[in-house]
A and B are shown apart, each in its own frame.
Chain A
Amino acid sequence: MIRFYIIIICILFSGELFAQKWQIKGNVSFISDAPLEMISAESKKLNGLIDVEKSTFAFTIPLKSFEGFNSALQKEHFHENYMESGTFPNITYAGKLLDKFPSGVDGVYEVRSKGFFTIHGVKKERILKNTIRVKGNKIFLESQFTILLNEYNIVIPKIVNKKIAEEIKVFVTGEAFIP
């Protein structure tokens, strides 16, 4: 976690005075579509920074902010058994953008990012395909990807493996504010 804040601080305070930095607020939702049960949850507490000039970015989301689930017990299991939110309170994704785009020109751009996910204490590199929509002063961000639970050391007991999918679909939307 400390490392993540260091990254954010570095991004915030490093470099040129006029470097264009976007602060991102947004939502993250996920769906686990297992044969016996579909679980979904959403959080509105996505926080991020994109340094457009350096093509770097960092995102974080506190796990405790996820709402939804099919029951309170399920939510409890999510935090205590699977994500261990007490020990690993946040999910982070930080790295560099692979594609350049004209940030001042209206349009829709496919921008891929190469960065490290930190989920459940496991750090993994991932490339994500994102859509950035620039319209006047407003900048919107959208992304869709899948997370494989076994890649992040999240073990599902066999007894519930028909209720929790191995592959979690994640949807991200965000809006940028230029400070």
Chain B
Amino acid sequence: MRLVLSFLFICIFLVPGQTQYLTPVHHDIQLQFTNLDYTGLYRSNDPFLYISTKKGLIRYDGKNFIQKSRKNDSQEISSLFHDGKKMWVGYEDGAIYTWQNQSFLPWNIEEGWPKSKISATGHLQKNNTFWMSTYGEGFYYHDGSHLYNINEEDGLGGNDIYCAVSDRNQQIYAATDKGLYVLKTENETKVVFPLVTEPAISELIFTKLLYDVSTANILGVTYDGEVWLVHIPDKTAKKLDFPFSVRTGITIGKGKIYVIDEKGEKPLWTYDLSTKKTEKFTLKGLENDVSMIDLIIDHDGILWLLCKNNGLLSVQSDLIIYDVGLSNIQAITTTEAGIYIGDETGLYFLNHDGKQTPLLKNENIISLWLDEEKNILWAGTYGKGLIIMDLLTQKQTGITEKKGLVNNNIFSITSYKNEVWIATLAGIQVFDRTGKPQRTFTTKDGLPTDYIYTLYADRNHNLWIGTEGKGLLQLAGDRFITLIPKESIISITEGKGNKIWFVSPEKGLGYRDGKATAWYTKSLGLTSDKISGICTEPDGTLLVFHEFGYDKIDPVTLEILYSGNPTSFSKWKQNINSFSKNNNSNYYLGIPGHVIRFKRGTGTNVKPKLIANYVRCGNIYLKKDTINILSHDHHNLNVDFSGIYFPDPTHLQFRYKLEPVESDWRYTRDPSLLYTELQPGTYTFTMEIGLANAFFPKEAYTFSFTINPPFYTTWWFILLIVTLLLVAGYVIIKYRIQQKKRISDIENEKVKMQLDTLKSQINPHFLFNSFNTLIGTIEENKQDAITYVEKLSDFYRNMLEYRDKNLISLAEELKIHDDYLFLLKQRFGKNLIIQFKTGNNTQGVYVIPLTLQLLTENAVKHNVISNANPLVISISVEDDYLVVSNPVRSKITKEKSTHFGLQSLSKRYKDLTNREIQILDKENIFSVSIPLQTYDTHIDH
């Protein structure tokens, strides 16, 4: 399919054409956004291109479109301006928004927005003033603190401003119903006056104004479609006549005015501001439909077209293509009037309007040289000798081998020391300027070979000779010095820095620097080493033409300045002599079917621009030129860059590295990257932009950042934790030791008390008393005696049973105590009265077993018990105390006491319950308060 298409393509161009045209490149905005209503274009002070639509603003970097808009927007954007930092977006309803980096925000000012359409916006650097013109309220400016207004009452020609521009002198020109007005502020006072006072001009209503910095002209388009050029310094206005009505399709820049004639066959018109010449061009692919919405020429010399149906298109404005219908152009030379093209079918003349006339037919022209002084064209053929043509008289003189020519195959013609030197397959022959042969140089004269491809005379009057297989020679007097042996040299030129550059089909581009030879290879950034020819710009920079386009090299720094193919032809396939430069600063290049004309410097001042959209770690945006310190959880590096190179976005390449993770460059075409889970450490991320293999380190972005280790791996944190653990361990161990000691103390006390209780129970007094009681009882009541013995044995059993327990419930304690009381009651009868006021809750409270028995025993032991003085013991629960009290009637003869019972009991209560026994001996009442526990303590072994 492709073969068939390319065949058709060739067939079309084989028909000799007469058109000169530009080839617009389509930008597929319509793929991403559907049903867009475009309203305008903007590119200035910012690398991006902006397209305003009825649904918001779109930013374009050559590859991606990003859209931003107001919420629920139905208003049209009516003005755009970028002040170098942010984009100012003015709307039809007077709203003003700004777009900076990622954020699109309303511009909030105390005075509020105008309520009329913002027709233009701008910025005066002099006093940092933002200005805007409105259609309805005149002119506003904001000086950083307040907004001011200039309207009719201040002398403005009307409150409806159609358009406004500011010039390099910080003056503003506003188009009103009464013509152009100049506005400025001087020492905080408003200065307003009409620019041109001639009545004929002051009546013009301009709907579009454009300011051209380089010529200080204002271009105005009137309501009726007239185009006027107002020269600011002279205050003169001149009408430019175009045979069609101009609307929005007009722009000024790069020394030219570009206008679109929407209905014309050649829709693009250019008007050169210095030569005042008009040229017309076809726009390839737009022959039937150029419905313009907006047209701008940007600082890169790219013409941007926004068309209703075709969307966004761009054209390299200074690159024009002529259809010549010649399939094998082998030589080109130029004059003021046009260019001479040598083809395998003959010699042709092409004037600047694209009109082509054949001069010689059936001649295979492979070299051309124009003697501009004498106006004589020298044409060298392949096999048919030399043809010298007087361009005024069209008289031709053929010189062949028969007429003294050394050989009929002429590869190169050049002038050297006022003579004409030709390179042939039988050496070099020298002619005078009229065409008379002078002398020849062949192998016999010291030439290493007779096959000579090219001759080049430099500014220092050296003649350089390129040979087939025998290298580069230099003429010294009558001798030839071989500088490079072996190579075939097909093209030679001189660049600045006194370097001689040459091309070898095998080894590519080389140069001679003093006495050394070096090769400039693809590794240095050259796009291709299949080079067809080289030449130099007037400023001494080197142009290298190759199969994919051309590269531009600075011969001193050896930097690549440009690399690309500004045409829509994918392969150039030009021949070695098929390019020429003229004095009109144009280059001509012949490729199959076409001649490409481009201006010197095309694409050369345009360097790719690298823009960092964002570089962030987590949610922290990194700053350039500083070391960013980040915490350990910001370990994902996320970068997004844009590369802008509108002349040829497909040539853009990026390389990046994250040191120290990556030591070598990585290459990509999509500069959006994500590094995840970076380890703590210091990193440097670098991003560079390049065209094909040539990178521009000056355009690089470098970000340094340090990810701190998490706090739990830092030495101080570990030390802190270890210390804390040691302290905690020490505290726990100490506590355990203390607790063990307490438990063993309790055990000790318990054992002591048990021993004491046992001792008192087997106390002979107790037994003696018990037995006496028993004897008395046996005699009186046998049954009672049996019960007494049973109770006595119960009492001893209980003692054995409960002695190991720490705590028992008060109910249990009262039950044991009952048995003991029975024994006492038998002994003392009615002389011992026990009063219980213990209440109902005796199950839920706890005491140490045999407490009551001990206290009762004490009372009985120390007090007189007689008929006259009965002992009343009261046992009651008061709050959470068990109170045992009795009136004191001390015995005269005291029973021997160990004093151990009460002390020991008190100590045990303290250890077990942390509460002490309270002993009161006051007003003849002895009372002991035992703390009641509401739960069984855990110490229950």
Chain A positions within 8 Å of B, measured between CB atoms, are 96, 98-99, 110, 112, 114, 125-129, 145-146, 148
Contact = CB atoms under 8 A, between A and B. Distances in A.
Given A96-B153, A146-B110, A127 B148 contact: yes
B131 to A, nearest CB: 14
20 contacts: A96-B153, A98-B137, A98-B149, A99-B115, A110-B112, A112-B111, A112-B112, A125-B148, A126-B146, A127-B111, A127-B146, A127-B147, A127-B148, A127-B149, A128-B111, A129-B110, A129-B111, A145-B110, A146-B110, A148-B145
Contacts of A125: 148
In this complex, the member of A96, A126, A148 whose beta carbon has the largest number of chain B beta carbons within 10 angstroms is A126
A98 B113 CA distance: 11
Contacts of A145: 110
Interface string B387-429: 0000000000000000000000000000000000000000000
Contacts of B115: 99
A96 B154 CA distance: 12
A72 B98 CA distance: 47
A151 to B, nearest CB: 8
Across the A-B interface, the 6 shortest Cβ-Cβ residue pairs: A129-B112, A127-B111, A114-B149, A127-B147, A129-B111, A112-B112
Main secondary structure of the interface of A (DSSP, over half): strand
B553 to A, nearest CB: 57
Given A98-B149, A129-B112, 15 more contacts: A99-B115, A110-B112, A112-B111, A114-B149, A125-B148, A127-B111, A127-B146, A127-B147, A127-B148, A127-B149, A129-B110, A129-B111, A145-B110, A146-B110, A148-B145
Contacts of A129: 110-112
A167 to B, nearest CB: 9
B107 to A, nearest CB: 14
Nearest to A146: B110
Contacts of B148: 125, 127
Contacts of A99: 115
Nearest to A99: B115
Contacts of A146: 110
Contacts of B137: 98
Contacts of A127: 111, 146-149
B294 to A, nearest CB: 31
Contacts of B111: 112, 127-129
Contacts of B110: 129, 145-146
B361 to A, nearest CB: 77
A127 B114 CA distance: 11
Contacts of B153: 96
Contacts of B145: 148
A98 B152 CA distance: 12
A171 to B, nearest CB: 13
Nearest to B115: A99
Interface string B137-149: 1000000011111
Nearest to A130: B112
Interface in B129-172: 137, 145-149, 151, 153
In this complex, the member of A110, A127, A128, A148 whose beta carbon has the largest number of chain B beta carbons within 10 angstroms is A127
A112 to B, nearest CB: 6
Nearest to A148: B145
A146 B148 CA distance: 15
B151 to A, nearest CB: 8
A127 B153 CA distance: 15
Contacts of A128: 111
A125 B190 CA distance: 11
A34 B112 CA distance: 25
A98 B112 CA distance: 11
Contacts of B149: 98, 114, 127
